[in-house]
Structure 1
Amino acid sequence: MSAGPAAINSSDLLEAARVSKAWPFEEARKLVARLEKSGETNPEVLFETGYGPSGLPHIGTFGEVARTTMVRRAFELLMPGVKTRLLCFSDDMDGMRKIPDNVPDRAFLEPYLHMPLTSVPDPFTNEYPSFGHHNNAMLRRFLDTFGFEYDFASATEYYKSGRLDPILKRVAECYDEIMAIMLPTLGPERRATYSPFLPISPKTGRVLYVPLKKVDAAAGTITFDDEDGEETTLPVTGGHVKLQWKPDFGARWAALGVDFEMFGKDHGPNMGVYDSICKALGGRPPEHFVYELFLDDKGEKISKSKGNGLTIDEWLTYAPTESLALYMFQRPRQAKKLYFDVIPRAVDEYYQHLAAYPRQDWKERLGNPVWHIHGGNPPEIELPVSFALLLNLVSASHAHDKDVLWGFISAHVPGVTPENHPELDRLVAYAIRYFDDFVKPAKVFRAPDEVEVAALETLSEKLGTLAPDADGATIQNALLDVARAIERYQDHTKKSPEGGPGVSVAFFQMIYQVLLGQERGPRFGSFVALYGIDNTRALIGRVLAGEDLSQG
């Protein structure tokens, strides 16, 4: 079944969208209700994402844009003809409060502490006017890689150009009301010095966290003591000051008319503060979606400044972009670890969803991640070999050349070539890289004991009775026949088709540990079919001869 544009306006599709339980549609329906309540005749629905460029963009930052885009596309299906826009807003006027761990020369940045990020020199290449410009460029490059449709906004440009002047004057007029919202959320010491306005010192260029001596709403100015103690008055307009981050959220929503913004769980407790400030300034708070944070392999929160998570470039070195988009779609309200081990599964799950899509009705399609990843028009691709099998093939064959791997693949799936299946060819290259960098260094082979030697001998003999072109299911059944006859591998909690005991997973764990130096892998029968029965028997023969397979 085609998923082309001609089907997009079908009544079945629209009805499925109205009841879909996929989280982007649930969020989109909130926006539909918001729009209907507003009664606007020619609306534009504004989606916003925020980015703090204090460190290099990481996958969590990217995921926010990906997920927001998924909600945007779901809304556009529900409300065709309504204009939408996605604004990626960078808070690049924020002061550099600490030096990130992952810059090449930390000492180089020390003189620029507390200066706006767009006033801090680029520590990487000197290609960009500032640290903030560099990190903004990295974000935009990654977003463009995925083909996102978005407008980029720089806080520095918005403040200095005067685009935020009206709301800044409004903050001065509502100063007491905003202070009444903020002060109860602060500790005693912070309350004594707090102000929603952060002046930028005209002498040092640093963002100052100082108490204000006077706020003149009529003149649109603030008065404070500069770092040298001299009393100074600055206009709140024209980029001379910026807002503290909590008031900045609410003020930006009010100034720009933001309709939807999602943010991480760490912002959740402040959501009411943002909303209250937006209302105090005459705005309508947007619809929110709070997602869980990504964790590193130790279960710690990923931080841009620490650089302890995967970067987008790192993921894309080992897997296609669509697998990353799938990881963003899945369970956004559940904390997930984000490190290299999750990549292979994400790759295979993406292609499984893609293969299922043409066979599904509209209700199932709208719950299928690939509808959201591809904006409603996923390609028709079905892989003859999974990524997990490719990794095992590299492992067993010790191949580092795509041509060698394609020799196995073409023998297993006649007629499939790199030319007529470029998607699979792309995965072959990813598999070689991933194996070399992550699987190979972690491989630990062990020698088989007496029971395992006998099992492997029987297994080799059994494989020798099969046709050279036996399929994965036939080979898997042969493996099970061997295991059922060995007491160690009998699982009496399961039943075989003949009514006897089933097979313990320990049998397949033994095969992977002894033959491939891994703890687990995909269905072994499928691997043997791909690698070849004779090659598998030769591998078993090397083990039985006492060879050290870790040497290749």
Structure 2
Amino acid sequence: MTDSVDNSTLRDAARTSKAWPFEEARKVLRHYEGGPQAKAPEKGYVLFETGYGPSGLPHIGTFNEVLRTTMVRRAFEAMSDLPTRLIAFSDDMDGLRKVPDNVPNQAMLAEHLGKPLTAIPDPFGKYESFAAHNNAMLREFLDRYGFDYDFRSSTEQYRSGAFDEQLRTVLRRYQAIMDIMLPTLRKERAATYSPILPISPTTGVVLQVPVEVVDAETGLVRFEDGGKLVEQSILSGGAKLQWKVDWAMRWVALGVDYEMYGKDLTDSGVQSGKIAQVLGGRKPEGLIYEMFLDEKGEKISKSKGNGLSLEDWLTYGTQESLAFYAYREPKSAKQLHIGVIPRAVDEYEQFRAQYAAQPADKRLGNPVHHIHDGAVPAEGPPVSFGLLLNLVGVMGADATADRAWSYLANYAPGVSQESHPALAALVHHAIAYNRDFVAPTLQRRAPEPNEAMALRELDAQLGALSKDATAEDVQAIVYEIGKDPHYGFEQLRDWFKALYQTLLGADQGPRMGSFIALYGVENSRRLIAEALALVEAG
């Protein structure tokens, strides 16, 4: 928080802010203050939860759920002094249903289909199980970003007996749960459905078989396994619960107050909420968010591996830009692919630059407030990411950080990699993005006759500029040429597009005044000469 707005003012503004994290946090707050049933949570804290199924490699969609939930948690803390916790829960006792497409040793994994993920060898050969590998990746994601969370393993919770009392309640209220679930199932599925999934004592597979309750208090059930009738306790790891029942049981056992989930789980949330009531608890508050889509508009899938990894994003963009992209419009479907990164980087910086001058209510609606929990950096890089991309783009595939810094030193005297680490990071990202996605596709076209005339005029005026001319001086020249009817541009944007395509090899670009000031007048005139040479060659 900045010193210009005191905490009491911010707290008052938080209680009325329309920013979605505050709206979500107020849902939770209503349970604990302001109503006839209001009271502090018996467990001593307000619990936020995120769930994760480690059947495949985690992707940014998984990461973003924790990020968004953390934003709601921080919004809650801005309005209340009640302690909070965040649990990242891994459903790693689930049976592997199919082999993911993007992992090695698939034949080996196929031999273990149906077994709990914690009982399947790690195909990467690094950890004691497939679940342990994927859980480690998830925790690396979260730790890298500095999240405050408690990790919980489903397998450990079941085996330790932490869920035993709730499992007994499931058996005691078995028929009531069946009455909720059976009407939602197809006839064939309903014939074999059971809320209980016993672990086979012979194969170790998570069984999908009808179950008969023998003794709820001891957890004893009867089921068929390989043609034999088996009696087995479901307590302490002898079984797990079907997904919707498991979700509800977890809410009640842990006392979850808030959990968001994707639109694809809307029906599951309804059924699990009903089951939670049967078990003596309640459904937590939560946001139903829209799913991320890939470049083709298809849902991102862990098994397909068609989503971005955190490493992908952080190779080409900043952590702040990822958080910014996750924050915006969680109830709207958004594409998540490499191409969205540059714009996210620059839009984050635009909102960051606005923050300091905004009144309290506007700050709380600014995405950067939630990204930084109010401690928003006052300064940003002196050039945009888009401008850096254009700079390294004209250097071609052999662009280097040293060459980029030689231009930056002339454009913004006094900047260096040591004094401006955020800019140094942007240069690194720009070079990587240019190398992998821009340079291989850049192709400068030859100017049309009217465009060539305008470029010759631009070259002449640049040659006549004084050495102390500013980016704004250059921009004024560019504007005047584009608006001159002599050069035949119907609209000013036609002139800009011509500049981008003939000089930079792209359909979009920066303010040309800023680019020319950064790249240098003489270097820019050389680009113009190269473009005009294409006309002569043609």
When normalised by structure 1's length, the TM-score is: 0.93
Q: Residue 498 of structure 2 aligns to which amino acid in structure 1?
A: M
Q: Aligned equivalents of 1:181 and 1:488: distance in 2?
A: 73
Aligned Cα root-mean-square deviation (Å): 1.7
Amino-acid identity (%): 52
Cα drift, residue 9 of structure 1: 5.5
For residue 498 of structure 1, what is the aligned residue in structure 2? none
Q: Aligned equivalents of 1:359 and 1:380: distance in 2?
A: 10
CA contact (8 A) 2:392 2:434 kept: yes
Q: Aligned equivalents of 1:8 and 1:96: distance in 2?
A: 52
Q: Residue 95 of structure 1 aligns to which amino acid in structure 2?
A: G
Cα drift, residue 486 of structure 1: 4.2
CA contact (8 A) 1:253 1:278 kept: yes
> Aligned with 1:50: secondary structure?
strand
For 1:195-226, what per-residue CA distance to the aligned partner results, in whole angstroms no more than 9, with x for missing partners?
01111111111111111244532442111110
Q: Residue 202 of structure 1 aligns to which amino acid in structure 2?
A: P
For residue 472 of structure 1, what is the aligned residue in structure 2? 471
For residue 24 of structure 1, what is the aligned residue in structure 2? 21
**2:86 is equivalent to residue 86 of structure 1:** yes
**2:193 is equivalent to residue 187 of structure 1:** no
For residue 356 of structure 2, what is the aligned residue in structure 1? 358
For residue 102 of structure 1, what is the aligned residue in structure 2? 102
For residue 138 of structure 2, what is the aligned residue in structure 1? 139
For residue 535 of structure 1, what is the aligned residue in structure 2? 523
> Aligned with 1:288: secondary structure?
coil
**2:9 is equivalent to residue 12 of structure 1:** yes
For residue 494 of structure 1, what is the aligned residue in structure 2? none
For 1:334-392, what per-residue CA distance to the aligned partner results, in whole angstroms no more than 9, with x for missing partners?
10000001101111111222222111111111111111111221222222101100000
For residue 493 of structure 2, what is the aligned residue in structure 1? 505
Q: Aligned equivalents of 2:468 and 2:100: distance in 1?
A: 56
For 1:255-276, what per-residue CA distance to the aligned partner results, in whole angstroms no more than 9, with x for missing partners?
1110000000101122211110
Cα drift, residue 526 of structure 1: 1.4
Cα drift, residue 397 of structure 1: 2.6
Q: Which moved more, 1:105-114 or 1:132-141?
A: 105-114
Q: Aligned equivalents of 2:361 and 2:466: distance in 1?
A: 43
Cα drift, residue 538 of structure 1: 0.8
Cα drift, residue 237 of structure 1: 0.5
CA contact (8 A) 2:58 2:138 kept: yes
In 2 relative to 1, CA 201–248 (structure 1 residues): closer, same or farther, beyond 3 Å?
same
CA contact (8 A) 1:234 1:240 kept: yes
For 1:486-520, what per-residue CA distance to the aligned partner results, in whole angstroms no more than 9, with x for missing partners?
467544xxxxxxxxxxx332221121111111111
Q: Which moved more, 1:507-516 or 1:384-393?
A: 507-516
For residue 205 of structure 2, what is the aligned residue in structure 1? 206
Cα drift, residue 329 of structure 1: 0.6
CA contact (8 A) 1:246 1:274 kept: yes
Cα drift, residue 41 of structure 1: 4.0
In 2 relative to 1, CA 365–232 (structure 1 residues): closer, same or farther, beyond 3 Å?
same
Q: Residue 107 of structure 1 aligns to which amino acid in structure 2?
A: A
Q: Which moved more, 1:438-447 or 1:325-334?
A: 438-447
Cα drift, residue 548 of structure 1: 12
**2:249 is equivalent to residue 261 of structure 1:** no
For residue 499 of structure 1, what is the aligned residue in structure 2? none
Q: Aligned equivalents of 2:105 and 2:445: distance in 1?
A: 44
Q: Residue 543 of structure 1 aligns to which amino acid in structure 2?
A: A
Q: 1:295 aligns with which of 277, 293, 308?
A: 293
> Aligned with 1:195: secondary structure?
coil
Q: Residue 455 of structure 2 aligns to which amino acid in structure 1?
A: L
CA contact (8 A) 1:31 1:287 kept: yes
Q: Aligned equivalents of 1:122 and 1:427: distance in 2?
A: 36
For residue 495 of structure 1, what is the aligned residue in structure 2? none
> Aligned with 2:32: secondary structure?
helix
Q: Aligned equivalents of 1:548 and 1:438: distance in 2?
A: 30
Cα drift, residue 547 of structure 1: 9.2
CA contact (8 A) 1:468 1:532 kept: no
Q: Aligned equivalents of 2:488 and 2:114: distance in 1?
A: 64
Q: Aligned equivalents of 1:317 and 1:541: distance in 2?
A: 34
For residue 544 of structure 1, what is the aligned residue in structure 2? 532
Q: Residue 529 of structure 1 aligns to which amino acid in structure 2?
A: A
Cα drift, residue 451 of structure 1: 2.2
Q: 1:326 aligns with which of 324, 327, 334?
A: 324
Q: Residue 519 of structure 1 aligns to which amino acid in structure 2?
A: D
For 1:98-117, what per-residue CA distance to the aligned partner results, in whole angstroms no more than 9, with x for missing partners?
00000022112111111100
CA contact (8 A) 1:214 1:224 kept: no
Q: Residue 417 of structure 2 aligns to which amino acid in structure 1?
A: P
CA contact (8 A) 1:469 1:529 kept: no
Q: Aligned equivalents of 1:528 and 1:300: distance in 2?
A: 40
> Aligned with 2:256: secondary structure?
coil
**2:269 is equivalent to residue 271 of structure 1:** yes
**2:207 is equivalent to residue 176 of structure 1:** no
CA contact (8 A) 1:201 1:207 kept: yes
Q: Aligned equivalents of 2:141 and 2:50: distance in 1?
A: 15
Cα drift, residue 452 of structure 1: 2.2
Structure 2: tracts of 5 or more residues without a match: none
Cα drift, residue 458 of structure 1: 1.7
For residue 311 of structure 1, what is the aligned residue in structure 2? 309
Q: Residue 291 of structure 2 aligns to which amino acid in structure 1?
A: L
For residue 335 of structure 1, what is the aligned residue in structure 2? 333
In 2 relative to 1, CA 385–489 (structure 1 residues): closer, same or farther, beyond 3 Å?
farther
For 1:126-173, what per-residue CA distance to the aligned partner results, in whole angstroms no more than 9, with x for missing partners?
221100000000000010000000000000000001000010110000
Q: Aligned equivalents of 1:35 and 1:488: distance in 2?
A: 69
**2:221 is equivalent to residue 222 of structure 1:** yes
Q: Aligned equivalents of 1:45 and 1:352: distance in 2?
A: 34
Q: Which moved more, 1:12-21 or 1:209-218?
A: 209-218
For residue 164 of structure 2, what is the aligned residue in structure 1? 165
**2:112 is equivalent to residue 115 of structure 1:** no
Structure 1: tracts of 5 or more residues without a match: 492-502
CA contact (8 A) 2:321 2:345 kept: yes
**2:60 is equivalent to residue 59 of structure 1:** yes
For residue 446 of structure 1, what is the aligned residue in structure 2? 445
> Aligned with 1:434: secondary structure?
helix
CA contact (8 A) 1:468 1:533 kept: no
For residue 412 of structure 1, what is the aligned residue in structure 2? 411
CA contact (8 A) 1:455 1:486 kept: no
> Aligned with 1:224: secondary structure?
strand
Q: Aligned equivalents of 1:119 and 1:547: distance in 2?
A: 67
Q: Aligned equivalents of 2:383 and 2:484: distance in 1?
A: 31
Q: Aligned equivalents of 2:213 and 2:25: distance in 1?
A: 44
> Aligned with 1:47: secondary structure?
strand
